Structure 1
Amino acid sequence: MLRVPAIMTIGVAALACLATPAVHADNPDWGINGTFTATSNGEWARKNDAFFDQASLRSTWTVSTQCSYPGECTGTVQSDFGWTAPIYQRSGVWYVKHTVENWIPCPDGSTAPGLQTFRFKPMTPEGANFDMSSNVLVGEDVTTGPSGACGVSKPVYINMPFKLAKVS
């Protein structure tokens, strides 16, 4: 049986600690924080894959995020439209999801909810490349109604281009 001197074991353990990168609990450069103008462009909206002109929507979002690693962040979005929802980031793409009550009007006068999902990432002004330093994030706003809503077994969804621009 091979015995390793205690001093050698301590030295190897200390060296391993030095070689391990430091884990930052939160780095403000990794997340997005502040006040933003959120714009969903209804002029280019699609309803169930066909172009369908919708009203464009503009709101103000207050975003607060914390990140454990670059590309792994969570937080909260508060919209001046009266909703609050979680925000999270995976592989550089941000996601915000919330329920829109009474989204689908039914012929019988009832309504069904929709799930609104915003998906976006920072881009260059040309929109061709991923740019972590950009104050403009672009993507899509997709709202989906459940299949079976209003007695129709086909989900309804509306997809619009989306832009999030930092105000402060």
Structure 2
Amino acid sequence: MKTKLSRISRIATSWALPATVVVAAAGATLVMAPHAGAAFCDPPLNGTFAAHSDGAWAKTNDVFHDETPAVSTWTATTSCTADFPNCAGQVASNQGWSAPATCQAGGMWYVKRHLDHWEHCGDGTEAPGDQLFYFSPQLTGAPSFSAVTTFTGVDRTVGPSGGCGINKPLVIEIPFQLTKIG
């Protein structure tokens, strides 16, 4: 009986140290996670960018449907806070609009704007839409976060349910790419 107990005690002791290390590592990961997330948003989105919405791969209410490609130039000015891993600022387009830009800990950037006269209805009226660009760094080939020059994501515009007399929102999603040019 004594041999059996000492064997169990040795097994329990041999597991105690690795279990402690695993628990400590998990705790350290949780403590450091908010600051690690900042790396996905940092460096801030600053400079001049070529923005391209690829209409050849557009979806209208989840069905592929060609849309006119949209190409514009954006000037972005953002900053990030060290104590909270978020970034915020402004994007101005050469198409005459500007909108807030934000990035949360996951590294996804968001630029959202409202379009008053987005959907043209058959009866001559118009319905508004909310356009959201969301994109993240294209890390392939970039040696570091600071070297990222391309972001990929989606240009998504949603009209209200009931717009143009149709009891279903119009949703258009277009693949989006943002490339730093200056």
User: TM-score, normalization: structure 2?
Assistant: 0.71
Using the alignment, how far apart are the partners of 1:49 and 1:29 within structure 2? 33
Aligned-residue offset at 1:148: 1.1
CA contact (8 A) 1:71 1:92 kept: no
More strand by share: 1
**Counterpart amino acid of 1:53?**
D
Give the counterpart letter for 2:131 in structure 1.
Answer: Q
Verify: 1:42 aligned to 2:90, yes or no: no
Counterpart in the other structure of 1:135: 149
Decide which of 138, 161, 165 is 2:175's aligned counterpart: 161
Moved over 3 A (4+): none
Normalising to structure 1: TM-score of the pair?
A: 0.77
Indicate the structure with greater helix content: 2
One-letter amino acid of the structure 1 residue matched with residue 133 of structure 2:
F
Cα separation, 2, equivalents of 1:165 and 1:111: 32
Residues in 2 aligned to 1:123 and 1:162: alpha-carbon distance in whole angstroms: 12
Query: Residues 138 and 47 of structure 1: is their aligned pair in 2 closer, same or farther, counting only changes over 3 Å?
Result: same
Q: Do the aligned partners of 2:42 and 2:80 also contact (CA within 8 Å) in 1?
A: no
Matched residue type, 1:108:
D
* Percent sequence identity over aligned pairs: 43
User: Would the aligned equivalents of 1:73 and 1:89 in 2 still touch at CA under 8 Å?
Assistant: yes
Tell me the matched-pair count.
140
| CA distance in structure 2 between the partners assigned to 1:29 and 1:74 by the alignment | 11
The 8 Å contact of residues 30 and 71 in structure 1, kept in 2 or not, is answered as no
| Structure number with bigger Rg | 2
Aligned partners of 1:119 and 1:141 also within 8 Å:
yes
Q: What secondary structure, in the 3-state scheme, does the structure 1 residue paired with 2:56 have?
A: helix
2:139 is matched with which residue: 103, 108, 124?
Answer: 124
State the distance in 2 between where 1:83 and 1:63 align. Answer: 12
Q: Which residue of 2 aligns with 1:101?
A: 116
Equivalents in 2 of 1:137, 1:71: separation in Å? 19
Unaligned runs of 5+ in 1: 1-22
Mean Cα displacement is larger for which, 63-72 or 104-113?
A: 63-72
